[in-house]
Amino acid sequence: MQTFSSPLPVIRPALPKDKEDVAEFTKFIWGGHDYVGEVFPEWLKDPQGQLLVAEYAGKCIGCAKVSFLAPGQWWLEGFRVDPYFQGLKVGSRLDAAANEWFDAHGDGALRLMTSSKRVQVHHLSEARGFVRVGEVCAYAADALAESTDAFAPLRAEEADEAAEFCQRWSPNGYLNVGWKFAAPNAEAICAAMKDENLFFWWRGRGGIVSAWEDDEEGAPRLIVGMEACAGEDRIELLKDLRRLASARGAVVARWMNVIGESVLRDLDAAGYRKDWEDTAYLYERGKS
For residue 142, CA distances in Å to 145, 219, 239, 273 come to 9, 11, 10, 10
* Residue 138 in this model has a pLDDT that exceeds 80: yes
Mean pLDDT of 139-164: 97
More confident residue, 86 or 68: 68
The segment(s) of the chain belonging to CATH 3.40.630.30 are 10-107, 137-284
Answer yes or no: is pLDDT of 2 > 70: no
CATH number of 10-107: 3.40.630.30
**DSSP character at residue 42:** H
| 208 and 202 Cβ atoms separated by less than 8 Å | yes
Confidence of residue 3 (pLDDT cuts 50, 70, 90): low
Q: Would the pLDDT of 169 be above 50?
A: yes
Give the C-alpha separation, 113 to 63, whole Å: 16
* pLDDT one-digit tens code per residue, 29-75: 888 889 999 999 999 999 999 999 999 999 999 999 999 999 999 99
Residues 137-284: name the CATH superfamily: Gcn5-related N-acetyltransferase (GNAT) (3.40.630.30)
pLDDT reported for residue 1: 46
- Encode pLDDT of 16-25 as tens digits: 999 999 999 9
Beta bridge partners of 142: 252
Taking residue 13's Cβ as centre, other Cβ atoms within 10 Å add up to 12
pLDDT at 4: 55
pLDDT tens for 100-133 read: 999 999 999 999 999 999 999 999 999 999 999 9
Cα 22 to Cα 11, 27, 83, 234, distances in angstroms: 14, 8, 12, 43
Res. 281: pLDDT tops 80: yes
Can you tell me the mean pLDDT for 195-210?
95
- C-alpha span between 159 and 170 (Å, rounded): 15
